[in-house]
């Protein structure tokens, strides 16, 4: 019985083109107690592969975190299958603002220690004692509240291309980096300020809200459904949109445009740009922001060295990669020394330009 992906990305692309069917890009998560994650993983693969689901799904004893795409014609069957699983019945599905039939090209379901790497000892606090969930309308009110501190729980390369007004955007590489940093910087406001958090789809805030309540924060709020659900509600209810730029997403699209504003800059020339790309040199694969002009000049590469490698015949490139690993370099995400445009690095815990300070003063 097939329990893993057998097609290459190119083969899958060809099948998607041949099918000519629209696909929906969806994300969801659920914290729950899963006794045998490996068995549950195989169960999902069997059923979802039959429905032509593609995506990246993490399963752990603490629950499931899924980003995937499914043919629109199979959505009903997919939802019916989710509802047949007790703890996933009625789970909120975040449907992408911008659709792309090739957002995912493989079905990967992996068993992990956690569904989000947070570095926390969950046994030390009550993970179910979460903060107050708020909708888009209430979140807009909190953004303007001088007694509220709005914090972006995402990483620097996410908030760089898009964020909310008045939000503090910690200059961190990982979610786990942000947790202690936020507590330290806001330690004097645990009782007198509202801590208001947001992330892409809500999963990071779900754990963080319980953690910060454990750490003594008295008023903890989180944007339910994250930026994705916020955007849907804003459009549906004709609310003021207080998000600027793009929402970074973890699939082949790499971003959903929420507004027409371009608030980031090309990491190579400094011109306005907010399109993330991976270096075309497969031995590098660095994630960075590149404008169209630099993409053409550099052949989609991050440096002249990588450009020279990409110009080599495929067999030569393969020889250069043999026995070598990307290591952690690919996780620099715009911080690499090879990127010629040097951004002025802000204070690691400061509001975006022109916004209110961490203490909430206007």
User: What confidence tens digit (pLDDT) does each residue in 206-243 have?
Assistant: 999 999 999 999 999 999 999 999 999 999 999 999 99
Judged against a pLDDT cut of 60, whether residue 344 lies above it is answered with: no
Q: What is the pLDDT of residue 358?
A: 36
The answer to whether the CB of 103 falls within 8 A of the CB of 16 is no
Distances (CA, A) of 100 to 13, 24, 251, 329, 343: 12, 8, 10, 28, 31
What is the spatial distance between Cα 310 and Cα 279, in angstroms, rounded to a whole number?
A: 10
Average pLDDT on 325-349 reads: 62
Task: State the angle between helix axes of 37-50 and 75-83 in degrees (0 to 180), rounded to the nearest 10.
Answer: 150
Tell me which of 322 and 153 has the higher pLDDT: 153
Residue carrying structure tokens 């999963």? 203
Catalytic residue, chosen from 199, 266, 291, 301, is 199
What is the spatial distance between Cα 236 and Cα 243, in angstroms, rounded to a whole number?
A: 15
Average pLDDT on 129-153 reads: 97
Average pLDDT on 136-141 reads: 98
243-247 vs 256-257, strand pairing mode: antiparallel
Judged against a pLDDT cut of 90, whether residue 48 lies above it is answered with: yes
Binned at pLDDT 50, 70 and 90, residue 359 comes out as very low
Binned at pLDDT 50, 70 and 90, residue 348 comes out as very low
Dihedrals φ, ψ of 14, to 5°?
Answer: -65, -40
Q: What domains appear along the chain, each with residue ranges and CATH number?
A: 9-111 (3.30.70.100), 122-230 (3.40.250.10), 276-332 (no CATH)
Q: What is the pLDDT of residue 77?
A: 98
* Whole-number average pLDDT of the chain: 90
Judged against a pLDDT cut of 50, whether residue 81 lies above it is answered with: yes
Judged against a pLDDT cut of 60, whether residue 246 lies above it is answered with: yes
Rounded to the nearest 5 degrees, what angle is found at the Cα of 203, between the Cα atoms of 199 and 205?
60
The answer to whether the CB of 252 falls within 8 A of the CB of 100 is yes
Judged against a pLDDT cut of 50, whether residue 139 lies above it is answered with: yes
Average pLDDT on 337-353 reads: 59
Region of poorest pLDDT, from 95-99, 118-122, 136-140, 337-341? 337-341
Read off the tokens for 29: 């998560």
Average pLDDT on 47-56 reads: 97
Average pLDDT on 194-212 reads: 96
What is the spatial distance between Cα 19 and Cα 11, in angstroms, rounded to a whole number?
A: 12
Q: What is the pLDDT of residue 1?
A: 65
Task: Report the chain's terminal Cα–Cα distance, integer Å.
Answer: 61
Read off the tokens for 199: 């992330």
Q: What is the pLDDT of residue 309?
A: 94
The answer to whether the CB of 292 falls within 8 A of the CB of 269 is no
Q: Any catalytic annotation for residue 199?
A: yes
Strand partners, 63: 31, 60
The answer to whether the CB of 298 falls within 8 A of the CB of 322 is no
pLDDT in tens, 279-295: 999 888 899 999 999 99
Dihedrals φ, ψ of 61, to 5°?
Answer: -60, -20
Average pLDDT on 110-134 reads: 92
Region of poorest pLDDT, from 34-43, 175-184, 328-337? 328-337
């Amino acid at each position: 019985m097939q329990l893993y992906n057998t097609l290459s990305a190119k083969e899958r692309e060809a099948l998607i083109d041949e099918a000519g069917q629209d696909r929906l890009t969806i994300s969801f998560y659920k914290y729950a107690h899963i006794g045998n994650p490996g068995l549950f993983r195989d169960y999902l693969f069997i059923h979802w592969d039959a429905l032509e689901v593609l995506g990246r799904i993490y399963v752990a004893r603490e629950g499931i975190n899924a980003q995937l795409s499914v043919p629109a014609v199979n959505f009903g069957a997919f939802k019916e299958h989710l509802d047949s699983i007790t703890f996933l019945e009625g789970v909120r599905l975040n449907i992408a603002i911008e659709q792309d039939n090739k957002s995912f090209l493989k079905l990967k379901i992996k068993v992990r220690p956690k569904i989000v790497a947070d570095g926390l000892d969950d046994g030390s606090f009550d993970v179910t004692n979460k903060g107050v969930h708020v909708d888009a309308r209430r979140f807009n009110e909190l953004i303007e509240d001088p007694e509220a501190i709005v914090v972006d729980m995402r990483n620097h390369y996410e908030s760089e291309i898009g964020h909310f007004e008045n939000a503090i955007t910690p200059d961190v590489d990982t979610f786990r980096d942000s947790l202690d940093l936020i507590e330290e910087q806001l330690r004097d406001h645990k009782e007198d300020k509202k801590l208001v958090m947001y992330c892409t789809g809500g999963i990071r805030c779900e754990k963080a809200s319980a953690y910060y309540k454990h750490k003594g924060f008295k008023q903890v709020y989180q944007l339910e459904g994250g930026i994705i659900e916020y955007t849907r509600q804003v459009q549906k209810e004709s609310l003021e949109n207080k998000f600027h730029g793009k929402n970074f997403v973890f699939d082949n699209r790499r971003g959903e445009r929420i507004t027409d504003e371009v608030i980031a800059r090309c990491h190579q020339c400094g011109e306005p740009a907010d399109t993330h790309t991976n270096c075309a040199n497969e031995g590098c694969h660095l994630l960075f922001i590149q404008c169209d002009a630099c993409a053409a000049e550099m052949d989609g590469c991050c440096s002249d060295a990588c450009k020279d490698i990409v110009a080599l015949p495929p067999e030569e490139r393969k020889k250069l990669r043999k026995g070598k690993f990307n290591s952690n370099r690919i996780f620099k995400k715009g911080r690499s020394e090879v990127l010629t445009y040097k951004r002025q690095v802000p204070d690691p815990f400061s509001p975006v330009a022109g916004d209110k300070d961490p203490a909430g003063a206007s």
